[in-house]
Structure 1
Amino acid sequence: MTAHIRFIPVTEIHDPLTLSIGLSGGSGTGKTYTALRMARGIAEVITGKSGAPIGYVDTENKRALHYKAAFPEMAHCDFQAVDQTGHVVGFGPERWIEIIDAAEAAELPVLILDSFSHAWEGVGGVLDMHAIALERLVQEAEKRANGRYTVDPAKYGQLAWAEVKPKYRRLIDRIVRAKCNIIICTRAKPVMQQGFGDKAKNARKTKTRREDVPWDPASDADLMFEMTTMVILDPKAPGCPVHQIKVADQFKGLLDPRAKMGEPTGRAMAEWAKGQGDAQQQKELLDKARDEARKGRNAFTAFFNSDEGKENRALIRTILAECQELAKDADASAEDSDDPFANEKPTLSPEQEAELLSKIETENEANAT
């Protein structure tokens, strides 16, 4: 077996990387239009020509066709829960894998899956599969019990997941290893808040693991963190990457929460995937900013106001809050003395403690009179 294992020098690897981009959001956040615009930019870079085909898997009653005049290069697939004979086939993992296989066979440079939430909560999706498996396991347990004891369905939930999750993980792995670039659109639901204004936070845990993001994607948590980039759009700013769940340093300069994503975003990401972008230089600059912040506020301020800092100020601002915290921690550490006991609380001898206690009691009696 070891004879087939090869370690290849990276200087000999020239195959472009592939992108997997996650866009999530509620109704009216611009997921479909944003995905199409980004896909157009990606396809143009990958193929080297405008008008390159965009694969679009539509689970929402051909909604993407509302944009067919604006995107004539769209190659549309009407993906339904029933087949041509009316038989319910659902949105199980195997069908999505077939879709990706077909897109690769067609040599599509980019594929949009909208809405991939159907793979999780749609007919025949993961939650549906889990419910069916759980029902079967409980029925089998009740048959074995034969009325001798009461079967608790809650005890069989994990067994049901053990049947379903491997099938879904194969789908996630297929997405990660796809040879075409993929943009995945999922729905997001608002999360009930506790507190008000700036102090408001989510009243329950969400899949994003963030208290400051009031949206929860209708998908599996594992999927979001497998993406190259994962953002949640907000109705207040359609098309803008307001909530950045997973954004590598290579892309921080591309994603401005105040600016809509579109063709330029897709082009820049595709250039990075081809190894022709300046993303590595951007990452090195951000790492340098962090290093300066670790030296304290004065060092970071000097770097921020240097020629290099001024030239790249917009990029540095993408991690400004992080750098401020690093500098604050650094200054707090710098206050420590070379004396390892400098911060130790002073200790008193028993005589000193008695004298101090007597003094406090005398002061208290004087104040009382």
Structure 2
Amino acid sequence: MQLRQSERKRAKIKMALQGSAGSGKTYSSLLLAQGLTNGDFTKIAIIDTENGSADLYAHLGQYNVLTLTPPFTPENYMKAIDVCEKARMEVIIIDSISHCWDYLLDYHASLAGNSFTNWAKITPMQKSFTDRILQCDAHVIATMRTKQDYVLNQKDGKYIPEKVGLKAVQKDGLDYEFTIVFDIDIKHFAVSSKDRTGLFMNKPEFIINSATGKKILEWCNSGTNLQDARNKIKECTNLEDLKVLYNQYAQWRELLEYNFKQQKDAITSQQHLLNPQNFRNNGSIHYQS
């Protein structure tokens, strides 16, 4: 048993695309996969649960299709992932994982007994499915359908339903498991609602293309040695050099934020000690308020 420094090595991206019907999730997924494979469609597999929609874009290239039919159990999804992984696919598109959640909801409704306690039978099935995606030795792009969500707000003594945005047809919180989540609207514009890479967060909406996938691939393959980055931060002796590194490692700020803060405090403290105005005539330190 041994501790080690955290490090990201040639990551396999796990990402999700969520949008309503007609938003272009399947097409966008294929373009992302094209970039992730450097244009080699033979290394792309689509697990299709959408009645053959995966074949609509065969003109793009010779990608592989695995048609999944009901029942859409977590076990059948996992078997499909196994098939793709054994075939050494570099990108697996699961289009979509919403059918799995629909199945689990129906299964839960069919169980006799207490509805609340019956979730103890459903949760392990969902977790196994999620873990299989996250542990897959390939890039995974999962699509999720969305529907308009509503809340009841009280107004003039009456409860009135109000729109609060789109909600993915999947277990609440599943989006937190992915490295990147793109929300796609009906005009095919995408924004990132979750992004651990730092590549797309807080950026204007855009239309996904193969260059987007290429950009993600470069991030995956950069495999920055975080220890080297931390060492460079620690070696900084002035705030100007530290700022240069802060901009250089923009995509890893979430992982290095503490190191930047720690070194900034150390440099600021050192500069304070070396400031002649902070010494009294007898050499003792004088801290200015």
Is the Cα–Cα contact under 8 Å of residues 241 and 256 in structure 1 kept in the other structure?
no
State how far apart, in whole Å, the 2-side matches of 1:115 and 1:190 are. 18
Q: CA deviation at 1:223?
A: 1.8
- 1:40 aligned to which of 34, 39, 55: 34
Structure 1 position 91 matched with structure 2 position 80? no
Structure 1 position 222 matched with structure 2 position 173? yes
Q: 1:60 corresponds to which residue?
A: 50
Q: 1:129 corresponds to which residue?
A: 107
CA 1:77/1:104 → structure 2, altered by over 3 Å: closer, same or farther?
A: same
Correspondences of 1:153-164 after superposition (within 5 Å): 156-164=114-122
Q: CA deviation at 1:264?
A: 0.9
SS at match of 1:252: coil
- 1:69 aligned to which of 36, 39, 59: 59
CA 1:256/1:109 → structure 2, altered by over 3 Å: closer, same or farther?
A: same
Point out the structure with max Rg over C-alpha. Answer: 1
Q: 1:303 corresponds to which residue?
A: none
**Structure 1 stretches of 5 or more lacking a match?**
82-89, 138-155, 196-201, 206-210, 292-337, 339-369
SS at match of 1:101: helix
Is the Cα–Cα contact under 8 Å of residues 25 and 232 in structure 1 kept in the other structure?
yes
State how far apart, in whole Å, the 1-side matches of 2:219 and 2:119 are. 37
Q: CA deviation at 1:260?
A: 0.6
Structure 1 position 263 matched with structure 2 position 263? no
SS at match of 1:55: strand
CA 1:126/1:193 → structure 2, altered by over 3 Å: closer, same or farther?
A: closer
Q: 2:24 corresponds to which residue?
A: 30
State how far apart, in whole Å, the 2-side matches of 1:204 and 1:249 are. 33
**Structure 2 stretches of 5 or more lacking a match?**
154-159, 225-244, 261-288
Higher relative contact order (CA closer than 8 Å, sequence separation 6+): 2
CA 1:203/1:16 → structure 2, altered by over 3 Å: closer, same or farther?
A: farther
Percent of paired sites with the same residue:
25
State how far apart, in whole Å, the 1-side matches of 2:62 and 2:2 are. 40
State how far apart, in whole Å, the 2-side matches of 1:57 and 1:188 are. 19
State how far apart, in whole Å, the 2-side matches of 1:158 and 1:274 are. 44
Deviations 1:288-323 (A, max 9, x none): 9xx9xxxxxxxxxxxxxxxxxxxxxxxxxxxxxxxx
The count of residues paired between Structure 1 and Structure 2 equals: 232
Is the Cα–Cα contact under 8 Å of residues 25 and 234 in structure 1 kept in the other structure?
yes
Q: 2:194 corresponds to which residue?
A: 246
CA RMSD of aligned residues (A): 3.1
More strand by share: 2
Deviations 1:257-299 (A, max 9, x none): 43211211111111111126899722367999xx9xxxxxxxx
Correspondences of 1:60-209 after superposition (within 5 Å): 60-70=50-60, 72-81=61-70, 90-121=71-102, 125-133=103-111, 136-137=112-113, 156-192=114-150, 203=161
State how far apart, in whole Å, the 2-side matches of 1:189 and 1:21 are. 19
Normalising by structure 1, report the TM-score: 0.56
